[in-house]
Amino acid sequence: MAAAIFIAQTRRRTGMGPTFSEMFLELLPDTDGIPSSIAEEFDYRQRRQLIGDFRIHAAIEWRRRGWISWERGVERSLRVGKVFRAHSRGFQAERAARIRAWEEMTAEELALEAPNPQPGDRALYGAEAAEFGARLIAEALEDDDGCGGGSHGE
């Protein structure tokens, strides 16, 4: 999943996919893109071969599972796979439905849903819903201050 997210972000930012080396360096920064250190008994060519074998083995497994894809022999062709795209579309649709449901709630339903909402709280429903909730809170506070025409201790 982390590999597919990194690939999607890189493609969005640069218009091209990352290299295998860049992807594994991002996923395993503490060990230079490999799962553990390689014994000193190996020479440079053997070390490169081991690293390459590990990377292609992992990438092929992720490809089989549908998380990533690439074209053979084409540099920077890494892209997200079908399973990741389907998962991403489902996540985005679910998030959009939560935002729509939040925006359609009445003030009473909002009070029951989140008894102590904080203005600007973007964690649950995203920026749009947080702004909507902040406006409702501000309006409620104005009404409580006596601006709404009610009698407060007169």
Instruction: Compute the distance between CA of residue 116 and CA of residue 87 in angstroms, rounded to an integer.
Output: 32
How confident is the prediction along the chain (154 residues), in pLDDT tens digits per residue? 889 999 999 999 999 999 988 999 999 888 878 887 777 788 889 888 988 898 899 999 999 999 999 988 888 989 999 998 898 888 889 988 888 887 777 666 666 666 555 555 555 555 566 666 677 677 666 655 554 444 444 4
